[in-house]
Amino acid sequence: MSYENGPLTTYNGTYTAQLYGYNVSAPYTVIARFYTFDYFTFLYRFRYNISEMNNNQSLSLSLIPAVGLGGSSTSFSGTNEYGVEGSGALSLDIPLIFEYNTGNVATYTSDKDKGFVFGLGVEYIKAPLIVSTQVSYSYSGSDGATVPIATSWVEPVFEFGYRYWNKRNKAKEFNLKVGYGSGGAFSARLSWMKCIGY
């Protein structure tokens, strides 16, 4: 499962209202962002070992595309406003991570029962992947505006994973990935992986 909140989007507009028979215009600002929670996330890790120091240590590069199944909503703020919250569904996450592997699954010839992975990289996020409603923001006496909230961004990412053999002698991994970007963008994912062909 995973969670993403996008960077804050600042929208500057102007509204016009009638005041004592005169048209009065004034600027206003809307600050909004999307929040996405994925109940299930399907991912696949493409990994290449760049260097193998010994049987139980390696440096690798991993690409881990993931599609999350969940929903999105928005938060927005301003003054004297009324509006409709935005909504959406699904998410797309594509991290590219440089990793240090130790113990189990570090190499094909590893002889350890347990192992760990630590990684740093960068990721592209699109959340929500499908926008069904953007924020609609209005003032009394104005036509209002539709606020185009940011739904994609790039951010640094960190991962930590624990690897082990299960009772059927299959290599498994619990993995935590956390990213943080500009404008308050944030993502976190907890996943359970099965190693194929190991």
Phi, psi dihedrals of residue 183, rounded to the nearest 5°: 70, 15
- Residue 87 has a pLDDT of 87
Q: Which two tokens stand for residue 40?
A: 């299930």
Residue range 2-194 forms a domain whose CATH class is mainly beta
Beta-carbon count within 10 A of 35 CB: 16
Q: How confident is the model at residue 58 (pLDDT cuts 50, 70, 90)?
A: very high
- Residue 95 has a pLDDT of 96
Q: How confident is the model at residue 82 (pLDDT cuts 50, 70, 90)?
A: low
Task: Give burial (CB, 10 Å; 0-12/13-18/19+) of 86.
Answer: buried
Q: How confident is the model at residue 124 (pLDDT cuts 50, 70, 90)?
A: very high
- Residue 132 has a pLDDT of 85
Looking at the chain, the whole-number percentage of residues with pLDDT higher than 90 is 63
Residues 7-45 have pLDDT tens digits of 998 877 777 767 677 777 777 777 888 999 999 999 999
